[in-house]
Structure 1
């Protein structure tokens, strides 16, 4: 197999689905015997140091850092025409500027990324003859169809995304190098609490720490704690409405801090009556136990590319409640319920319509669904076949 580079500019300082995907993909490929290297802005702490996966730290102007802010102010206004937009765009460009000589010197065949500008810059440099590395963009960031159009190698995360992009661009058929391949989940790490005896005590310990009785139904949302897109304000209000008639229920929201987070903390305190718990910037290593602490997973966003949090919930045996949208319906399958949750009162009604018996039955189906469609074994071989196709094009 050729040399594969997996990269994410946020690795080492940001916790999102993109960074999780990069870590999981590099690790899965390595354990399949692939010659893979993980590139990120780690600094001195390498994320997979004990796993044997080769990791390389790439210096860049990280989003949010003072140097990034200063350079954004100094750069001429026309720089956006080159694709350098905002702090994230500058982070990606400066990361790429240090990455491309490494790709060229070490003769990497494929660069597989979810950071869109990294793929864009790799394509531009490849067209100029500066690198031979072929870029694959795993499209998870809601880029426009026009942005995606030039890419020869494009991984859509769900069949609907592929079909919609082809339709919007007016193509008669999908380009040869485009495909639909989902994210995947480690089904051994993310397993039902009954499958891991040590987790049962950890579940009780975390509930006690949060002041949640062991018999109380617990809903969990794993998402960035913000209003835009994730609609955490809507979730808080809907749960408070539901909890007014369900005295024992609790809600845990776990996710990265955002500029809107402080206002959401205040909202949860005013409406939650001590039964809404917001956990910020949790270590990924803590996520399996957090999932095992809950009984049902809920997501308030109306649209998603393919959130890994849903895969982890399904794998842990949690039924999922999400919005009615083709991608979410495809992801959840028999392992939960998708309902229209755009209007006030809709999500609270959905929560009120289920009971513990439904959660147990749907949880078992959720686990089986994850095993059959989204396990590492089910997906990673398809990645390898796609790599072979890209190399042969």
Structure 2
């Protein structure tokens, strides 16, 4: 039996009394299915949602998410731009990297740098995608939106051909090396799309052209992904404060001793070193420390886990994601009259979550030690 949410809460981030939303304590994009009414709608959907996206799609953790999330679990995508060389055409084509690092061809049409109509190349994974690409482009042309589509310039390893890429059912972008190439692409498609599509559809129907996606077998994928360490670290800190509120209580999470961490997570107080070495990346390292990749989790797990522990006079959180990504978060200095040790484990494929008691933790640690002695 579920417990109804209160009419109002004090949001653990902005500290305003507002109506609650059902916050995923661990981001749903990472498999989280534990929800609690601890955030207001503004913090949940607007102010903090980009942090969850940065962690799940544009980080080293995102690479594990793509690699270890089976196709049967839920659909995942790696953020950024990714390209595969299509051996059938020699083109660098835009792909989405999905579950188990599987490249999926996004429906697209390429035009040669010289603007030659004879060198218009349509690439889709199957005939259904071809039809959806046609419908999308026709809608853009008829509505006068083709020239207003978002333009991505570069990168150089995307190849010289300008193209229109259908990113989602009703969304897409233009990619080109220069703005002039993008304008030329728009002009050619507006004038010649129907003829180019009819010719390609005829070749597909006759068997002369195959579904191009079938030619992508064990490809080399060119990955272009932006990575902001501050956003990733803030997302990790957010997970810890969420677990603190969910397991220990919102009133405790609202303690003034955690206000500096709260401001950091909200992006209100980000501090970078005044001087950086030539190869050093600017990052606020006051609260979050990412541990080496071969670090063993503080509590053995093959999933995700968050451990809260008190070392007088500071409260810490240890976050383990996909077993191999480990972070220590300092929540703040606080005086507690008794020890605090909380462990919560989350499935990476939305198959539940649970609080781990001392006996379960001891059993796991003992099993790891026995395995190491064999």
Q: Same fold (TM over 0.5)?
A: no
Q: Which is greater in Rg? A: 2
Higher relative contact order (CA 8 A, sep 6+): 2
Question: Per residue, is there more helix in 1 or in 2?
Answer: 1
Question: Per residue, is there more strand in 1 or in 2?
Answer: 2
The bucket for the TM-score relative to the shorter chain is under 0.3
